[in-house]
């Protein structure tokens, strides 16, 4: 084949590659949206007592929690494990971290361009809720948002008390998946919030963002309702009190200094 003919084939190859990537970009969000309908059906079965209620027969994962971020209009099912197969459909609970709604550091991971794209809209003071299959609902408030390197142990490490950690890749707008940076949101139980507890075990990178939560968080309750409707009502009424409160004003300079010194 002559060099001129090879040169003429270059645009064709580039168009084919672009079409392939575009197809992948459309397929992943579509899978995530379509899967939530099946996951909700599996969640109803899990709430009725079914163990490992698989959303489809060949699934190697199952619903373990329901995550809500009311200010961002988010209501989604969380799957067991954070494998690539699970994260293609929903956020996943990271193995080895505390189970949802139990003491310790519960870490949930998701893709930055689908299920966890909303993390970039979370701010200190925003409410989150997490429900386990038994119907227990825990309400949290965001206390800090940071960009960290994947090697930092503070993200997956244990916590002395209950904490919810949400994790995704960063930057959100990067055309290439992966990379060493992670966007991390930390949230603490709403009823426990006083002056922000420092996050230890990591130094803040130069492009980190962080914020402290207000010490005036309204009280929240942990309930174990008997059915899905009761659970929904409890979560809505508890979160409603938090949503009506204004977001606290974050002192970025003081918080960044505290994190850097930790």
pLDDT at res. 242: 42
State the sign of the Cα–Cα–Cα–Cα dihedral 123, 71, 195, 200.
negative
Over residues 81-90, the pLDDT tens digits come to 999 989 999 9
From start to end of 48-159, where are the E strands?
63-69, 74-80, 92-93, 105-109, 127-131, 137-149
pLDDT at res. 11: 40
- Reduced to 3 states, what is the DSSP secondary structure of residue 85? helix
- Reduced to 3 states, what is the DSSP secondary structure of residue 187? strand
pLDDT at res. 175: 79
CATH of domain 12-261: 2.40.260.10
pLDDT at res. 208: 39
pLDDT at res. 212: 33
CB neighbours of residue 28 within 10 Å: 17
Burial of 205 (C-beta count, 10 Å sphere; 0-12/13-18/19+): middle
CA distance linking residue 106 with residue 125, whole number of Å: 19
CA distance linking residue 17 with residue 101, whole number of Å: 44
Ranges of residues in the chain with a pLDDT under 50 are 3, 6-26, 195-226, 234-235, 238-239, 241-262
CA distance linking residue 234 with residue 239, whole number of Å: 8
Over residues 150-181, the pLDDT tens digits come to 988 889 999 999 999 999 999 998 877 778 99
| Residue 182 near residue 238 (C-beta atoms within 8 A) | no
pTM of the model: 0.66
């Amino acid at each position: 084949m002559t060099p001129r003919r090879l040169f003429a084939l270059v645009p064709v190859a580039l168009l084919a590659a672009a079409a392939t990537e575009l197809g992948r970009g459309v397929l992943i969000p579509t899978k995530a949206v379509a899967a939530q309908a099946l996951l909700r059906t599996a969640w109803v079965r899990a709430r009725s007592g079914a163990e490992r209620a698989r959303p489809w027969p060949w699934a190697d994962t199952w619903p373990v929690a329901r995550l809500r971020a009311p200010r961002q209009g988010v209501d989604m099912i969380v799957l067991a494990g954070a494998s690539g197969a699970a994260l293609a459909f929903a956020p996943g609970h990271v193995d080895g971290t505390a189970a949802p709604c139990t003491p310790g550091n519960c870490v949930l991971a998701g893709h930055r361009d689908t299920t966890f794209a909303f993390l970039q809209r979370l701010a200190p003071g925003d409410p989150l809720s997490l429900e386990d299959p038994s119907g227990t609902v825990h309400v949290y408030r965001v206390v800090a948002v940071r960009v960290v390197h994947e090697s930092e142990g503070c993200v997956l490490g244990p916590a002395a008390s209950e904490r919810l950690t949400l994790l995704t890749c960063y930057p959100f707008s990067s055309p290439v998946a992966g990379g060493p940076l992670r966007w991390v949101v930390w949230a603490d139980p709403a009823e426990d919030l006083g002056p922000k507890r420092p996050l230890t075990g990591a130094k803040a990178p130069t492009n980190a963002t962080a914020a402290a939560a207000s010490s005036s968080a309204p009280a929240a309750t942990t309930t174990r309702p008997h059915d899905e409707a009761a659970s929904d009502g409890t979560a809505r009424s508890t979160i409603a009190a938090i949503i009506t409160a204004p977001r606290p004003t974050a002192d970025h300079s003081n918080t960044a200094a505290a994190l850097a010194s930790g």
